[in-house]
Amino acid sequence: MFTDKMILRIPGPTPIPPRVQQAMNQPMIGHRSGQFSELFARTEQRLRPYFGTSGEVFILAGSGTSALEMSVVNTLQPGEEAVVLVSGAFGERFAKICERYGIIVHRLEVEWGEAVTPEALSSFLADKPQVQAVFATYCETSTGVQNPIRELAHIVREKSNALFIVDAVSCLGAVACEMDAWGVDIVVTGSQKAFMLPTGLAFLAASKRAWDVIDSKKPLAFYLDLKAYRKSLADKTTPYTPAVSLIFGLVEVCNMLDEEGLPAIIKRHELMRDMTRAAMRALGIPLMASEEYAATTVTSCHPHDAFDAEQLRKVLRTKHNIVIAGGQGHLKGKIFRIGHMGFCEPLDVLQVIAAIEMSLQQIGAPVELGAGVKAAQEVLLAHV
């Protein structure tokens, strides 16, 4: 076994395509040079279709959390009110960011493994006329749930004057996102998920309605001042030092995404989700998310008392060089999560399912070898 061949099947960071890795190895250029400015401006425009916007996409050096924080510090002031939809660990992160800046947070919480429904949001907003922003997570990575963002956006528009701000870190570039058409005001994401890059870039797009609010506020941070990024983007640059090598890689990612086309990318991710879920059902392993709200980029499984999720993960890693994710928060040690996004295709899914079957047998769990693979193959054959 090749000890340096580790196969990542976690919901980020995801594997880097060789051609993207090669692009990042280009010689460094000046980040204030005309060469970089032209490259940067073209790349920003190429990102817009994946957000579903005609507006600018701002690129900053930072993790996805930096863009989450940017969406807070530019739209709200201490003492103002926000609703945060909490369906897992990353909804909770949005709430904590808001609270750190003195914002009054109303949590709409659902059980982990469930989605926030439009009906629940409508009822929750009914007695909160002072709310300035509603924060939601598109794909809740910790549970494998994909919240119905389009429908939730409609409710926010119908029931309030609040901005609707969406964390799409673990799914943008793999799912439909039409922020202009749906009425979403801010969408944020990061580089290390469906965009197939290392951690280190964050992206944010804002609507005209959001900009009306941003322009009326004093930002609560220096590095994350969105008005500074808008001013610099007009000059084809960034206000602070950009991650040049990651931008080189982003150009090649855009090439790959454009070559496949967003409709085909979405179908590929839906297929990998369906294959994974069919396999887990065939193996008798309970799924956390319902069919209606199952994420296309990560599948969460809850074995309960059938076997030890951490023991499975250990055998996968040490015996088969495959890494899957564990649980977070109160689910730590209780669930496992399979990432299937970015540089991943259906045959990769078959590989991880086969390895899970073998690992289950190795830890003494009841398993019929081949049952999960067969179920996934049947899903795949129905699509080819």
What tens digit of pLDDT does each residue of 194-215 get?
999 999 999 999 999 999 999 9
Percent of all residues in the chain with a pLDDT value above 70, rounded to a whole number: 100
pLDDT at 5 over 90: no
Q: Which CATH number fits domain 7-14+261-383: 1.10.10.60, 3.40.462.40, 3.40.50.300, 3.90.1150.10?
A: 3.90.1150.10
Residue 384, pLDDT score: 82
For residue 228, CA distances in Å to 156, 185, 223, 345, 358 come to: 28, 19, 9, 39, 53
Residue 375, pLDDT score: 98
Provide φ and ψ at 199, rounded to 5°.
Answer: -60, 145
pLDDT at 240 over 80: yes
Q: pLDDT (tens digit, 9 = 90+) per residue, 50-85?
A: 999 999 999 999 999 999 999 999 999 999 999 999
- 18-258: CATH topology is Aspartate Aminotransferase; domain 2 (3.40.640)
What would you measure as the largest C-alpha separation in the chain, in angstroms?
62
Across the chain, mean pLDDT equals 97
Residue 343 token pair:
């540089």
Residue 88, pLDDT score: 96
**In the predicted model, what is the mean pLDDT of residues 308-317?**
98
Where are the chain's structural domains? 7-14+261-383, 18-258
Residue 200, pLDDT score: 98
Q: pLDDT (tens digit, 9 = 90+) per residue, 251-277?
A: 999 999 999 999 999 999 999 999 999
Spatial contact of 256 and 114, defined as CB atoms under 8 Å apart: no
Residue 112 token pair:
């982990």
Residue 54, pLDDT score: 98
Q: pLDDT (tens digit, 9 = 90+) per residue, 126-135?
A: 999 999 999 9
Helical spans, DSSP H, in the chain = 18-24, 34-51, 64-73, 89-100, 118-125, 149-159, 179-182, 208-214, 226-233, 244-260, 262-282, 309-320, 346-362, 371-383
pLDDT at 2 over 80: no
**Model-level pTM?**
0.97
